[in-house]
């Protein structure tokens, strides 16, 4: 079964009400111990006088950092509602039709600096923490999470295709092994101006969200190979062109040509 691996959004919307997070209810319950440790360290660092600089954020996010201190008691909501950045807005994970919600539950995972992995319907509180952070005694979070995530994701991806929509910081936390049993498709977006293609960053998030929504809501069977991913993407009206390029081993790059802001 295809796996779509997403980054979290930087911006998060707190749940208005509800019970606090239940670590036992999240996907991959074997991550309970590392989740608890990161949560403990985040609460400790967020209570320090230098919390903003330690977490790499500015004064405008002081309220988010303060909320980190009480995360265990904050209301939790579905991750599809809490994550509200550009990618998630385009993916519409919170308003999918019934068949697409089932696909999302089975096929979509967000790689999180705090929770490790979450499904769209896993209930979490809003938090402020980036995978690029060096968090207290845990150090660099990407390196901390790597040995915990590797066995789970390698088993999940074995014999199938993984669509990687993560940003660089989150990609550092896990990379698929160069195994013939898993095809790894990295998604990139481009615009074309005067015949010259240029990679885009902000619009790339939107394109990855559009692709995610398209793959979840189409009626055809889920893709099982890189070629099938490209074929499916080519049926999305948002993309002007789709190119699949094979890299080393079992890695592929899916290049999506999107309209320029002036089009």
pLDDT bucket at 263, cuts 50 / 70 / 90: low
Sign of the Cα pseudo-torsion (128, 134, 138, 141, in order): positive
pTM for the whole thing? Answer: 0.94
Question: Could you give the CA distance from residue 165 to residue 205 in angstroms, rounded to a whole number?
Answer: 8
Question: Could you give the CA distance from residue 90 to residue 13 in angstroms, rounded to a whole number?
Answer: 16
16-24 mean pLDDT:
95
Cα end-to-end distance, the chain, whole Å: 36
Domain parsing of the chain, residue ranges: 3-257
List, for residues 33-70, the tens digit of each pLDDT value: 999 999 999 999 999 999 999 999 999 999 999 999 99
3-class DSSP state of 6: strand
As a whole number of angstroms, the longest Cα–Cα distance in the chain is 54
Helices (H) and strands (E) in the chain, counts: 10, 12
List, for residues 222-241, the tens digit of each pLDDT value: 999 999 999 999 999 999 99
Determine how β-strand 123-124 pairs with β-strand 134-135: unpaired
2-7 mean pLDDT:
97
List, for residues 141-166, the tens digit of each pLDDT value: 999 999 999 999 999 988 889 999 99
């Amino acid at each position: 079964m295809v796996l779509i691996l997403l980054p979290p959004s930087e911006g998060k919307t707190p749940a208005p009400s509800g019970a606090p997070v239940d670590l036992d209810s999240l996907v991959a319950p074997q991550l309970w111990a590392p989740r608890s440790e990161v949560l403990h360290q985040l609460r400790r660092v967020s209570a320090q006088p230098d919390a903003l600089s330690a977490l790499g954020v500015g004064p405008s996010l002081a309220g988010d950092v303060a909320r980190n201190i009480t995360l265990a008691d904050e209301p939790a909501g579905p991750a599809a509602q809490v994550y509200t950045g550009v990618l998630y807005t385009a993916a519409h994970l919170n308003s999918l039709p019934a068949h697409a919600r089932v696909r999302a539950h089975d096929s979509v995972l967000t790689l999180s600096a705090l929770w490790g992995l979450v499904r769209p319907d896993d209930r979490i509180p809003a938090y402020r923490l980036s995978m690029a952070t060096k968090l207290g005694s845990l150090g660099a979070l990407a390196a901390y999470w790597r040995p915990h995530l590797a066995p789970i994701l390698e088993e999940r991806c074995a014999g199938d295709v993984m669509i990687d929509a993560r940003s660089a910081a989150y990609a550092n936390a896990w990379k698929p092994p160069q195994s013939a049993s898993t095809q790894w498709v990295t998604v990139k977006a481009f615009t074309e101006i005067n015949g010259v293609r240029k990679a885009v960053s902000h619009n790339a998030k939107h394109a990855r969200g559009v692709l995610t929504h398209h793959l979840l809501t189409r009626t055809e069977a889920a893709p099982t190979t890189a070629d099938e991913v490209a074929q499916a993407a080519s049926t999305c009206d948002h993309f002007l062109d789709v190119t699949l390029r094979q890299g080393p081993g079992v890695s592929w790059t899916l290049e999506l040509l999107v309209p320029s802001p002036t089009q």
